[in-house]
Structure 1
Amino acid sequence: MVRKISFCILATFLSMNLYADEIASYTAIKYHVNYEKQNPKSQESLQKEYQKIKRLSKTLEATVMKNDTDVEVAKNLAIIEIWSNKFMQSYKPSEAELNELYKTEKPRTVGKYELRNILVSYEKNADRIIEMLNEIKNKQDKKESFIKYVRSVSNDVASKQNNGLTPLVDENKLNPQIKEALKGKKEGEIVKVNLKDVGTQILYIEKYIPEKIATFEEAKDALINLAKRKALTKEIELLSK
């Protein structure tokens, strides 16, 4: 009798732990927060919310969604996606693996730009400003004049607060029109870009860092991600046989 009671208590304890894990997983997936770090009131609310969702899910699966093809497909996809994410998180490539990838992939850094920006409503105003700036031959004087125009005429409130200067950005993250306009230009040069429904942008090239062969350390994060993806593909192929 005592053994039977102990077994029931153990089963209940294991069930409660599994349920707690479900709520923690639900909280992380839906709200991207740690269940354990929530206050008791929030934890209680999350428990009730998950209980309601779980009951509804089981009811639907047993009734109106029973043998539904979409449910079966969604389950299959969800299982693979969850497993893939966990595999990627747990896989730790070795230094030797990363070094081999570095040799074969020959990774390169992306070119980067640091730009100053003047935004005006009319292209003719931009043309006049560019004409006057290009008459200034001294690079430092041109830059200082550009900053004066930023303060006096630019409609870009965000960059205006920093004298038109925008953060260093990868060239592949630039607007395609801007990227094309900057092609072949050097530091200290000025380009003009007409942006539909925005206005005309005058850009001063503050700094340009061209692409180059990346050092191992520069490429390490990308190499780790690549190694994880390769390992995942290999594991999927093995499990699919």
Structure 2
Amino acid sequence: MIVKKISLYIFLAFFSINIYANEIASYSAIKYHADYEKQNPKMKESLAKEYSKVRNLAKTLEATVMKNDVDVEVAKNLAIVDIWSNKFIQSYKPTQKELEELYKLEKPRTVAKYELRNILVSYEKNADRIIEMLNEIKNKQEKKDSFIKYVRSVSNDVASKQNNGLTALVDENKLNPQIKESLKGKKEGEIVKVTLKDLGTQILYIEKFIPEKVATFEESKDALINLAKKKALLREIELLSK
């Protein structure tokens, strides 16, 4: 009988340790975005002590000064829904048929993209003179070469200057609204001017333009997967809320 009790206590203690270890792992992931199992023994010990303090403090507060506090109850409810939602999104795997139906329904399109070269000057008059001289050059390659020379000699944009003024290919909707508006209807090889408050005047050379188009299924697959997950979550919420 005594042996059975001892075995039961050992089992319960082991079970509690496992639950507590799982809580520490969760704490590490939520607070530090770190994998607890990949930490060295010293870090594991530090995380365990830190979480133990947080855990004990929370339980003390909940039983005393925060007992029956409405904010605690609301925070719990929000946290439960939020954690469940994130786990549902991560675990839900849409079928190929589901994605294909969404593709037909949504008719996704790619966003227009620009690759630009940039000259930044302090005064608009200087920009106007540079643009005037560049536009006198009719040969496209010569105009581009001259633009690069101006980048090297007068541009205040240190970052892009290191790459002859060239910036990375960027989605149209990520551009500054003024720049986006100025680029409307323009073609590759054309030059536009944009004066930005507290920054200066930018002279932009359109190196590459990729227009908006109907996206292929493969191009839109990641977005379709995310959309399918969100729709599935809404359906599950509706089902559980009845």
Which band: TM-score by shorter chain? over 0.9
1:1-241 aligned at under 5 Å gives the runs 1-241=2-242
Question: Take 1:211 and 1:130, find their aligned partners in 2: how far apart are those partners?
Answer: 28
Q: How far has the Cα of 1:160 moved from its partner? A: 0.6
Question: Take 2:181 and 2:61, find their aligned partners in 1: how far apart are those partners?
Answer: 53
Question: Take 1:14 and 1:212, find their aligned partners in 2: how far apart are those partners?
Answer: 57
Question: Take 2:181 and 2:201, find their aligned partners in 1: how far apart are those partners?
Answer: 15
TM-score normalised to the size of structure 1?
Answer: 0.99
Residue identity over aligned pairs, in percent, reads: 82
Indicate the SS of the match to 2:109.
coil
Q: Over residues 32-75 of structure 1, what are the superposed CA-to-partner deviations in whole Å (9 max), with x where a residue is unaligned?
A: 11111111111111111101111111111111111111111111
Indicate the SS of the match to 2:238.
helix
C-alpha RMSD of the superposition? 0.7
Indicate the SS of the match to 1:155.
coil
Q: Over residues 88-136 of structure 1, what are the superposed CA-to-partner deviations in whole Å (9 max), with x where a residue is unaligned?
A: 0000001011011111110000000000001111111111111111111
Question: Take 2:211 and 2:128, find their aligned partners in 1: how far apart are those partners?
Answer: 28
**Structure 1 portions without partners, runs of 5+:** none
Indicate the SS of the match to 1:56.
helix
Q: How far has the Cα of 1:194 moved from its partner? A: 0.9
Question: Take 2:152 and 2:121, find their aligned partners in 1: how far apart are those partners?
Answer: 12
- Matched to 1:225, the amino acid is N
Aligned residues: 241
Structure 1: 4+ residue segments shifted above 3 A: none
Indicate the SS of the match to 1:165.
coil
**Structure 2 portions without partners, runs of 5+:** none
Question: Take 2:64 and 2:127, find their aligned partners in 1: how far apart are those partners?
Answer: 66
Indicate the SS of the match to 1:2.
helix
Question: Take 1:62 and 1:125, find their aligned partners in 2: how far apart are those partners?
Answer: 70
- Matched to 2:26, the amino acid is S
Question: Take 2:218 and 2:140, find their aligned partners in 1: how far apart are those partners?
Answer: 35
- Matched to 2:170, the amino acid is V
